[in-house]
Structure 1
Amino acid sequence: MKNKLTELLNIEYPIIQGAMQYLSRAELAIAVSNAGGLGTIPAMTFRSPEELREEIQKIKSQTDKPFAVNISMLPEVIINELTMKFVDVIIEEKVPVVETSGRSPEELVPMFKENNIKHIHKVSSIRHAKKAQDLGVDAVTIVGFECGGHPGMDDVSSAILFAKASEELSIPVIGGGGICDGKSFYGAMSLGIDGVVIGTRFLLSEEVATSDIYKEKVLSFNENDTTLILRSLNNAMRVANNKQAKRIHDMEAEKASLKELLPVISGIKTYQAILNGEVDDAQLVVGQDIGRIHSVLPVSTIMEELVAGFKAQHNSMTLYFN
């Protein structure tokens, strides 16, 4: 599959694995990149620049394919010292692709350009996509209401955002939200975008190290079992509608402050709960497409099914014109 995104990133398929904090580590990124997509690790999973460097070097030792590092810039109003140290590591290690998210990457754009690092910026609205394009990023990812993680505050569906972004931007557009198989991959690309970012489907891969209890619980969810938390912080987050989500909803209803919420919504606390199988005490980030995922598979199989399903859907659509 060749288009302007695969050529920009030097990948075989226009499929990017979403950065899932604490869960998308080197093993997952390596598997996705080796299968022809773009594997991604999130910098904010690591407590120090040297931990990030070790993970990057692990990836480089096991694949010669491109991969990406995500830099989330929430909730800081300015880019903090740790973020800049992560940027230094990315540049020093010659990471081929970086993805930024959370706020304007204006200060970082020149640094990545000077070092020939392809820069993708993730947004949830057309206005922010246009701003990122004006800043000079190489591509934008736009995510819709259905996605797991942070879908923004506008509640606009992926289909609307994908079609409009492809019409109004000149740089490659990557779409996220609701994409989990060849059928949804084909549907997303038919709206004019240049690639897809997939989180929830890769979350349920063998390369993600979690407890069996966690995977069984997530597989039991359907499309009606997610909810949005943290609207009170203007940072909506789609998660499973479990006891932890209800606990956060109750705190938000009582107008809890960020300071009061932080100990409850801690990412490391959720990760430990996931590892221990205490799934009711974790924010289980999943998209609405969880209702269409029914198995834990190796990344290689997931990638094969995405591509084969895309081709099968294309062939079935051509029958309408015969």
Structure 2
Amino acid sequence: MKTRITEMLGTKYPIIQGGMMWVGRAELVAAVSNAGAFGIITALTQPTPEHLVKEIERTRTLTDKPFGVNLTILPSAKPPPYEAYLDAILDNGIKVIETAGNNPKEFIAKAKARGVKIIHKCTAVRHALSAERNGVDAVSIDGMECAGHPGEDQIGCLVLFAIAAKKLKIPLVASGGIADGRTMAAALAMGIDGINMGTRFCVTKEAPIHDKIKQLLVDKSERDTLLIFRTLHNTGRVLKTSVSEEVVATENRPGGCEFKDIQHLVSGAKGREALESGDESKGLIWAGQTVGLIDDIPTCAELIDKMVRECRELLSAARDKVN
């Protein structure tokens, strides 16, 4: 497959493994890249910039194929040393950065001065157009079905992808709502240059997640996610569990909710514990509605090969229907 994204990334297929907290580590990243797609290390999973350098080095022992690093920049009372993480990325030969959250112009300029490409994740077309004006090289746009933070507009993938493809000039990646060859074909048919998957790559042999959590994601349907933090205007999509149901119940109680009321339920450390222990009661499990499309736990190579084959077959069948 050849698109503007494969040319930019140097990959065989226009498939990107999105940056995921606690999940975007060397084993998964290398497996994705070795299979012809593009793996991404999650910078802030590493406790310090020095640890990130070691994770980049470790990934290079597992693959000689291209991979990138995600750096999500969010407002915080005690922000991590974002610029030090950026320097660690730039000083260690990474050629593509996936950014999310805020995208300071000075960070863009610093990266581009070093010849680094930036894929910026957005949840709205207006934000994508702003990122394009600010000089990013590609946009990854998240529909409402996605795991993580889908924004506050509540626009589904089909409409969002079509409008973005119509309005943006730079390469466009579809993120959210994609987990198989059928959804990949739909995105490409709309003029999208590539796809980004998070939840689907969590349910692979190489993902650093406990087997019980992987099986839980297989067993769930498209109806088994919840939107949390809606009353706090920071909407997030997670798997429906006893923890996330308690969060939603607390948010909806009479008199409202402050973040401190749910902080003990939603901390990142507890989410990591759930993923690594296999105990879903320990913390949040972030997942998109694509859990309804997932029914097995393949290797990354098996997943990508099957997706590409199905995508090609469906696009060919669609051409036959209209010819």
User: What does 1:36-185 correspond to in 2, within 5 Å?
Assistant: 36-76=36-76, 80=79, 82-185=81-184
User: What does 1:1-322 correspond to in 2, within 5 Å?
Assistant: 1-76=1-76, 80=79, 82-254=81-253, 255-322=256-323
SS of aligned partner of 1:286: coil
Whether the aligned pair in 1 keeps the contact of 2:28 and 2:208 (CA below 8 Å) is: no
2:102, 2:35 → 1: CA distance?
31
Q: TM-score, normalised by structure 2?
A: 0.95
| Larger displacement relative to structure 2 (44-53 or 207-216) | 207-216
Question: Which amino acid is 1:165 matched to?
Answer: A
Whether the aligned pair in 2 keeps the contact of 1:243 and 1:281 (CA below 8 Å) is: no
Shift of 1:94: 1.3
Question: Which amino acid is 2:14 matched to?
Answer: P
Deviation string 1:18-55 (CA, Å, 9 cap, x unpaired) is: 11110121111101111111101111111111111111
Whether the aligned pair in 1 keeps the contact of 2:274 and 2:284 (CA below 8 Å) is: no
1:107, 1:26 → 2: CA distance?
28
Shift of 1:202: 0.7
Whether the aligned pair in 1 keeps the contact of 2:144 and 2:157 (CA below 8 Å) is: yes
2:46, 2:264 → 1: CA distance?
18
- Calculate percent identity across the aligned residue pairs: 37
Provide the aligned C-alpha RMSD in A. 1.5
1:75, 1:251 → 2: CA distance?
24
Go from structure 1 to structure 2 and tell me whether the alpha carbon gap of 1:271 and 1:80 turns closer, same or farther (over 3 Å shift): closer
2:232, 2:62 → 1: CA distance?
40
Shift of 1:261: 3.2
1:125, 1:6 → 2: CA distance?
24
Shift of 1:75: 3.5
Shift of 1:280: 2.7
Shift of 1:200: 1.3
Whether the aligned pair in 2 keeps the contact of 1:226 and 1:241 (CA below 8 Å) is: yes
Shift of 1:225: 0.6
Shift of 1:85: 1.0
1:263, 1:98 → 2: CA distance?
32
Structure 2: gaps spanning 5 or more residues: none
SS of aligned partner of 1:280: coil
Shift of 1:286: 1.2
Whether the aligned pair in 2 keeps the contact of 1:186 and 1:310 (CA below 8 Å) is: yes
SS of aligned partner of 1:246: helix
Deviation string 1:91-143 (CA, Å, 9 cap, x unpaired) is: 11011110110123323110110111110110000000000000000000001
Go from structure 1 to structure 2 and tell me whether the alpha carbon gap of 1:107 and 1:258 turns closer, same or farther (over 3 Å shift): farther
The total of aligned residue pairs comes to: 321
Go from structure 1 to structure 2 and tell me whether the alpha carbon gap of 1:75 and 1:245 turns closer, same or farther (over 3 Å shift): farther
| Larger displacement relative to structure 2 (246-255 or 296-305) | 246-255
2:72, 2:232 → 1: CA distance?
16
Shift of 1:57: 0.7
